[in-house]
Every structure is written in structure tokens, then in C-alpha cells.
A and B are shown apart, each in its own frame.
Chain A
């Protein structure tokens, strides 16, 4: 019998077709990149920004009477290396804008835009969104854009994150857990846990981060994790004074050991000077009458019958013999008490 013919579209072509449709769906309207005239772009002042410089300052020089003159001048200087690279290579990574009427609002890429103006460019590659994205999406875009910037401070990152968390909680009406944060940012959970902890830290620590006294995420996280308020303050001060991460870890470990030792001591009996007292000293006396009084009152008790004969024959003037019989009575008393204990 002839072999049955079967016709299949090849796997490679099937994959190609499926991927094309899926990618088209996922990126619909999102990869629209065009060269935009810079003069059509506006800074979005609704978003918090670190820079104080504005486009107008660059287009018509900074006003010498501007109260921010010094700061603006510094910002321009800080853009110098980017300006050089833009003159050479142009802007490689497009800025992100959204359309508002005939103009465009900048979502990400303020420095690139400013540097392009300084580099005497008239246009800039821009990814154009049709409309203003939701707050959450907006803060995400800014986070992703910023995370690649090497000069971003811990505080700037935290401020971005704060926005993400805020808009997430607004949108979803639920508290944002570290797991959600790690999923959203696409970072490992341990990283997200650290950010999450710092975001919920007390104001003193946040203040230190803001002032740039703590620059490192790990250091900040370790300080935040300290429960004891005094130690936390100590660690904070140590960090501000320049302690390394290892120093901070050591500080915590040392403190823990100290705490443990203290706790052990607290469990034991109170102690005096010198060697520890571990038994009762019944004392010594020359007055054998006193000893006879004690012995007589004990010996009548049950369990001392065996010693009665020895006590009767005792020479009360011989300290050694009296001490000996007293020790025997004490031993017997201990033995009897132990037996009684066992019987119970």
C-alpha cells in the first residue's frame, strides 16, 4: 500500500507566525519611535524632578539674577560629558514622551533632552505614547529609565520607588508586599525586601538617606533591620561616620554576643566577691553546750536511732569528737531527707 501523504506547515514557519502575532499584540502602539523637534517637547512639571534647570535657561542663557543661578550653572557643568557624547554619537536611547495636543510631554529623558539642547541639536529620538500613562505605569517607566543611570543616588531611587508603591496601592487598593514589588521591578526578592524595609523605616534613617549620609542600599537595610532603638542609632551614627558594611555587621554581632552573655548571667544566683558560695557554712563555735543543745534536739527525731549510743558516750570536752558526731548527724539528716524526697 502506498504511504499516506501528510502535509504539515513546518515547525519553524508555525513558530514564526505565532510569534509575529503575539509580539504584534504585546507591543501594539508602543514602539513608535520618531525624531521629534526638541522645541515641541515640554517638561512635565507634575512629576517631581531633581534638576532645577529648564529648557528656557538653555535656549536663552540663565538669568544672572536667578536665585538658582549657581545651582543651574552646576547642573549644566554636570551634563558636560553627556553633551560631548551626544555631539559625537547622538542620543542612542530614545527619550519617552506622550502626546498632548500638538505638543509632547516628557516622561523620561530630561538630562538627554537638556544635553541635546546644549549639543545644539534640534531634534531627539523619542518613543511616543498616545496618551498619558497611568500613574503606576508612569512611575515604572521612570524607574526603568533611571535604574540604568549610574549617578542616581539611593534617595532618588527610593523616591521613585515610593511613587511606585503609592500608585500601586492607589490602583490596587491593597498594601504592596515585597513579593509584589520584586515582581513589578523584576528584581530578586532579597533586593525588594531591602527596598521595602527602607521605605518603611523611621524618619531619622530616611533623613540620613536623603542627606546622602547613607548611600548604600545594603547598609541602609541592615540599619533598618536593627530592632533595638539605641543600637540602631549607634549603627546609624557609625554608618554616617564611614563604617563599612562589615563594620555594621560586626557591630550587630558584637551586640548580640553581649546581649546573650547578659542574659545568661541573669539566669544565675546573685554573686558576691571572690569565689562563688555554693553551700551553707554552719559556722564554728567553742561553746560545746550550744552544740549539745542542737544535737539533743535533733537526735530525738526519727531516723537517728543508730547515732543515739555514740552521742551518749560522747566526751563533750573533745572538740574533734564533737565535730565528728555533728558531721555524722548532718550526713544522716541529708540522707534521710533525700530518701524522703524519693519516696514522694
Chain B
């Protein structure tokens, strides 16, 4: 089975997207795994890393994917030339985009359509949204095409996040060692718990762990991390390597960054070493422990 890793927490700014990007690039460019990136966040930042997203004329501030490189107006009469993960909620076929990394493909966001799915309230529709991504990822052809799928989620606990969690085999909760972030962990653990109740032993949702992110050498970060690690049961789920607050993690996201990929930095570079250690840990947990 293709491993499906979701980065989720309903608090914003914890590093979901950055972690999705770096993990996807580690798996595709370093390990050469056939990787599919899925952007469930209407902010479309994960998509923007790989595609020149266009502004949606009909939706203020919204983004839509550009034309697909394979689109040929003369042949594809029934296709408007774009594809996004939001299409699964509209019964449309989806066509992943290639990226600048050969092993990495992307199903980009479509802001307004994702927003619509996120905003559904009628029970039957909510349930449909919840299972839609799982249905897509269960398709054999898709499973055969990828070794691993990385899903980025919006900062919410709404239908899109739930859909991602329901589709996932593994979940990572990135979190800063700060008050609101720890509360965010609580919310996500609740979601994981609910899903765990539901799953059978044949297809569990594995909690890879809480990833301590943006850690600085200050007392509150150190003490919160210590508290979290010493909590009964919870301690086992704190990833034993932290990511520190570093300029480089945001610098590589700039359009003309050089290098563009963190793993193109020299091996002994502290940032590369730090994140690679975390990626190795995650990979080991996801691929070795079933």
C-alpha cells in the first residue's frame, strides 16, 4: 500500500506547509521515491512552491492552478485544461502536474472550490467530503503510480482536514513549543483519537509524532518540550529530534532561491543535517513499521 502522510494541526503557522515541502522533497529528490503532493489548503502555498498559481478573477485573493502542460486545446475538447484536488468534490477527473523534481507530482489547490467544500454544513454533504479523498487514493491505478503521498492541510479542523486524516495512513503534528500550539496538539490528538476508534487494525492511522518546530534556545521552549516529553503516553509520540528556528527554512521558499532544495546544501550544513535527521526518522517510522 502507498503510504499517505498528512501534516495537520488546526493552528496556523506551525510549519505544516514547510514540513510538507521539505518532506516531499526529501522523499522525491533524495530517496527518489515516486511522490505525490496534495494541497488541501485553500491558501495554496504548497501548490505555489511548484506551480505558477494564477489569481482567481472570480474570487478575491483566491488562487487557481495554471494550465496543465499536457493540455492541448485542439484535442482536449472536454477539459478546461486545469486540474486541482478540489475536483474530487465535483466529480471531475484529476490529472497531477509535474514539478521541477522529476519524481514529484502535484495535485494543486483551487482556493474557491476548496473553500466551498470546507464550508459545507449539510450532514450528508459533509460525510461525502470526508470520504472523497480516501476514495480517490484507494484507486488502484493511483496506488500503483506512487510510493508515497504527502498531504498538506488548512489550519482548521473542518471537512478538508478530516478528509485528509481519513485518507491518511500516517499523521504528523508539527507544533511550536508554545501555549496555543500545545492546545492545537490537543485538538489534533482528539481528531486522531476519533479516527483511531473508527479504524480497524488492518488499516490503522499511525501517529508518526508531534514535531517540535521553530524551537529557539529560550527557556519556555525548552521547558515546554521537556514537559511534553515527560507526559505519560504522550512522550512516546514526541519526535526525538527538533527543528530549530532558522532563516534558511524560509529562504529556500523564495522564488529564485539558490539552492532551491534544502538537500542541495552541503551535507554538513547544520540546517540540512537537522532536517534530514527528522526526515530519516519519519521515513523509518512510516516505511519500516508498516
Contacts and interface: CB of A to CB of B under 8 A. Distances in A.
Given A7-B219, A7-B224, A20-B189, A31 B198 contact: yes
B199 interface: yes
Given A7-B220, A9-B227, A9-B228, A17 B234 contact: yes
B201 A130 contact: yes
Q: Which of B192, B196, B199, B223 has the most CB of A within 10 A?
A: B196
Q: Which of A13, A20, A25 has the most CB of B within 10 A?
A: A20
Given A29-B201, A31-B198, A20 B186 contact: yes
Given A5-B219, A9-B182, A14-B227, A20 B193 contact: yes
Contacts of A128: 200
Interface string A318-334: 00000000000000000
B178 to A, nearest CB: 9
A18 interface: yes
A74 interface: no
B198 A32 contact: yes
A285 interface: no
Given A17-B185, A20-B190, A7 B223 contact: yes
B228 A24 contact: no
B227 A8 contact: yes
Interface in B248-278: none
A65 B219 CA distance: 84
Nearest to B230: A14
Contact of B197 (A9, A21, A22, A29): A29
A30 B186 contact: no
Contacts of A7: 219-220, 223-224
Contacts of B201: 28-29, 130-131
Contacts of A16: 186
Contacts of B219: 5-7
B93 interface: no
Interface in B173-197: 182-183, 185-186, 189-190, 192-193, 196-197
Given A8-B227, A20-B186, A28 B196 contact: yes
A17 B199 contact: no
A130 B197 contact: no
Given A6-B223, A28-B199, 14 more contacts: A5-B219, A17-B182, A17-B185, A18-B231, A18-B233, A20-B186, A20-B189, A25-B233, A28-B201, A29-B196, A29-B197, A29-B200, A31-B197, A130-B201
Interface of A: 5-9, 13-14, 16-18, 20-25, 27-32, 99, 128, 130-131
30 contacts: A6-B219, A6-B223, A7-B220, A7-B224, A9-B227, A9-B228, A13-B183, A14-B227, A14-B231, A16-B186, A18-B234, A20-B189, A20-B193, A21-B233, A21-B234, A22-B232, A22-B233, A24-B189, A24-B192, A27-B196, A28-B196, A29-B196, A29-B197, A29-B198, A29-B200, A29-B201, A31-B198, A130-B201, A130-B202, A131-B201
Q: Can you list the 6 inter-chain pairs with the closest CB atoms, starting with the nearest?
A: A130-B200, A31-B197, A21-B233, A24-B193, A7-B220, A7-B223
